[in-house]
Structure 1
């Protein structure tokens, strides 16, 4: 059987120094271009108008939730995922999940949902830089793979939600779509650094547009 990539991710996740993976980023940042809305309207990676409408609906809901400062929970993500997929109910997965043509297997144990919830809670830890928290929760959604479908789209929404809580919007999100692997600690740290770069770049362009 393929090794459990989720177990690998949980181990690596705890070994990464998230406090130094990314520097401090400015907040709030009101981007001159809404990069996430543009990405959603295009349907994420699929360039599907129908999928784009669903994603925009989920984005609007997630931003409304951010305005209420709702904490990240499995239940909250399920609410977004129903909109992402256009389904009345989206249950937490009931078995192992696979990605990358079956090369990564994300195991399911009696503790998977609880462990995922613990990871979501850490996205609000103020001791960790914003960019690292956003990148880490993106990878948590990708590798816990909580729902049968649409987890890549949900990961992007969740990353953006963590930023939105701090008043930060990116003017581009395309660079975040590079394939990530559960056994790659350097890649995980690089994602945190990339999020920091994107925040700083959006801030720089925003402040430049004012002058």
Structure 2
């Protein structure tokens, strides 16, 4: 199916359709088939990229297992704490090896990529959602301009606009789940304090220098896997990424590659991959700026 579509922009929908047809052929009700396909695929495909053979095999295995009558009888295992897994991986990732942003110094955009994406993508989902996110983005820019320290208190002020709540939302008080329940993030008396400590590491540190791309990617994933709010954590993580860059005078012309991907808490390659995606955006922008300076 991916060969026939050429893995263009619409191939994900075709993939879901074909897999649903497969299950329906073997007597699975359409509604159940759709849920099983969502569970098997689970946002694991990247846009404009054909899946590797190993990923295709794993999706096929998940579908096959879902059809086994004895699958439901398997003994339940204790749910892992994916926040704990992320914190262990976070310590082991060689963040210092991440790309160096293709240059140094401030990088003003020719187009506000974050705002533009909100106006196009989020407004199509819900105009009120886009309006709230744009209001939060203004606060992000203001906080970055005054070099504000990044912590949960700052996040919840933005999140009030993201969610449209009367008051800034509190830190969650129960375990959180994501990716259709495949990831579980634990909660403890020190979870908020640990988030604040992690977010503080997004600032430039002369004694322990790390590339800006690494610090932005790590802070983004911290919010994803600490999952501090009951809702809207992906949007909060996106705002954090924009803030970390903006605090050092760097902005993006486009953010589509950064908003349309999902990472696993237990994947040690996730952080470096996100840092590389950030670097791709910034390097392209710096190259454009340099070319314009060289034009007579």
TM-score range, shorter chain: over 0.9
- 1:40: Cα distance to partner? 2.0
SS of 2:172's partner is coil
1:83 equivalent in structure 2: 161
Q: Distance in 1 between matches of 2:112 and 2:182?
A: 34
Bigger Cα Rg: 2
Match of 2:118 in 1: 40
CA RMSD in angstroms, aligned pairs only: 1.5
Structure with larger RCO (C-alpha < 8 A, sep 6+): 1
Alignment of 1:32-181 (within 5 A): 32-42=110-120, 44=122, 47-89=125-167, 90-126=169-205, 127-177=209-259, 178-181=261-264
In the alignment, which residue of structure 2 is the partner of 1:4?
Answer: 81
- Give the whole-Å Cα distance in 2 for the aligned partners of 1:33 and 1:47: 22
Could you tell me which residue of structure 1 aligns to residue 268 of structure 2?
185
Q: 1:54 to 1:135 in 2, by over 3 A?
A: same
Unaligned runs of 5+ in 2: 1-77
Structure 1 residue runs of 5 or longer lacking an equivalent are none
Mapped contact 1:141–1:155 kept (Cα < 8 A): yes
In 2, are the aligned partners of 1:5 and 1:107 still within 8 Å (CA)? yes
Superposition deviation, residue 102 in structure 1: 0.2
Residues paired across the two proteins, number: 211
What TM-score, normalized to structure 2? 0.68
Give me the whole-angstrom Cα distance separating, in 2, the residues matched to 1:56 and 1:207: 30
Using structure 1 for the length normalisation, give the TM-score.
Answer: 0.95
1:108-163 Cα deviation digits (max 9, x unpaired): 01111111000010000431110000000000000000111101001011001000
